[in-house]
Amino acid sequence: MRPRQTILLGLLLLVPVLAFLFLYGFGSNHYALPTYLPERADSVRTAGGGWQRDTVYHRVRPFRLLGAGGRYVSSAVLGQGLYLMQVVANEPASPADAHAARLMMRVQEKFHREPRVRLATLVPAAGADQAATASQLQKLSEQYGTISGKWFMLGAPLDTIRHLAQYELGLTALQPQRLPFRPATEPATLPAGRLLLIDDAQHVRGIYDGTDPHETDRLMTEINVLLYTYDHRR
């Protein structure tokens, strides 16, 4: 190969390397997750003395539910970083909910060393007997191989589940990214197989179809994006 051709080939190989190093050193990732369940738009005063419209988003209100082993788990424990919530409205679980549970297993496996990522599955209580419900939740924990302190099986009466899903998680919202979120006017039917990503401010940041294999990559990516956001807060 002639010296001139060698130099030209070297330059062609060097350009993409330099471009990568530049972007790595000076570039920034501005990929932002949406926030769901907007409630209203308020006018707020800016630093310059003017006014701007600011959207207020629904926050999941505190809850405390029975977990496996008879211990109660609060939303404050789940929300120390971020958590993925699955709501199962039927017992036994539908095929769609079973698919979503398997996706939860994959999330647990991928993020088992990340303490800021937690998971919660909410299921109808076995009955009025607290001990029976705790036993039911323990069996589910063993069935799915949940890691203690990472993935919580939670039980509640069906009415409580439906209220939490509709009024706090917005699972029945027809347009979860548009104004306004009015849970009392939403349909009462709960879609099966849905997963929700909730951040440390108790905002819903992702809604996923657990039966769609393509949603797996999106879910994993958006968890990483949210963790990246936490790591680079100013």
Mean pLDDT of 48-57: 77
Distance separating alpha carbons of residues 122 and 26, to the nearest angstrom? 44
Percent of all residues in the chain with a pLDDT value above 70, rounded to a whole number: 82
For residue 24, name the pLDDT band (cuts at 50, 70, 90).
Answer: very low
Q: CA-based angle 207:95:36, to the nearest 5?
A: 10
Residue 23: pLDDT over 50: no
> What is the predicted pLDDT for the residue at 126?
77
> What is the predicted pLDDT for the residue at 69?
86
Least confident of 42-46, 91-95, 193-197, 213-217: 42-46
What is the CA 207 to chain-centroid distance, rounded?
Answer: 7
Mean pLDDT of 122-144: 91
> What is the predicted pLDDT for the residue at 89?
85
> What is the predicted pLDDT for the residue at 188?
81
Mean pLDDT of 146-175: 94
Q: What is the CATH number of domain 38-231?
A: 3.40.30.10
Kind of pairing between the strands at 117-124 and 82-87: parallel
Query: Could you give the 3-state DSSP secondary structure of residue 94?
Result: coil
Give yes or no for a contact between 135 and 104, defined as CB atoms under 8 angstroms apart: no
Percent of all residues in the chain with a pLDDT value above 90, rounded to a whole number: 65
> What is the predicted pLDDT for the residue at 177?
87
Distance separating alpha carbons of residues 52 and 176, to the nearest angstrom? 23
> What is the predicted pLDDT for the residue at 189?
86
| 122 Cβ neighbours under 8 A, 6+ residues apart | 65, 85, 86, 87, 88, 154, 155, 156, 161, 164
For residue 20, name the pLDDT band (cuts at 50, 70, 90).
Answer: very low
DSSP string covering 10-51: HHHHHHHHHHHHHHHHH-----------EEEEEEEE-TTS-E
Q: Can you tell me which residue has the tokens 């009392």? A: 184
Domain boundaries, the chain: 38-231
> What is the predicted pLDDT for the residue at 63?
96
| Rg value, the chain, Cα | 22
Higher-confidence residue of 150 and 175: namely 150
Least confident of 47-51, 107-111, 148-152: 47-51
Q: Which amino acid is at 37?
A: L
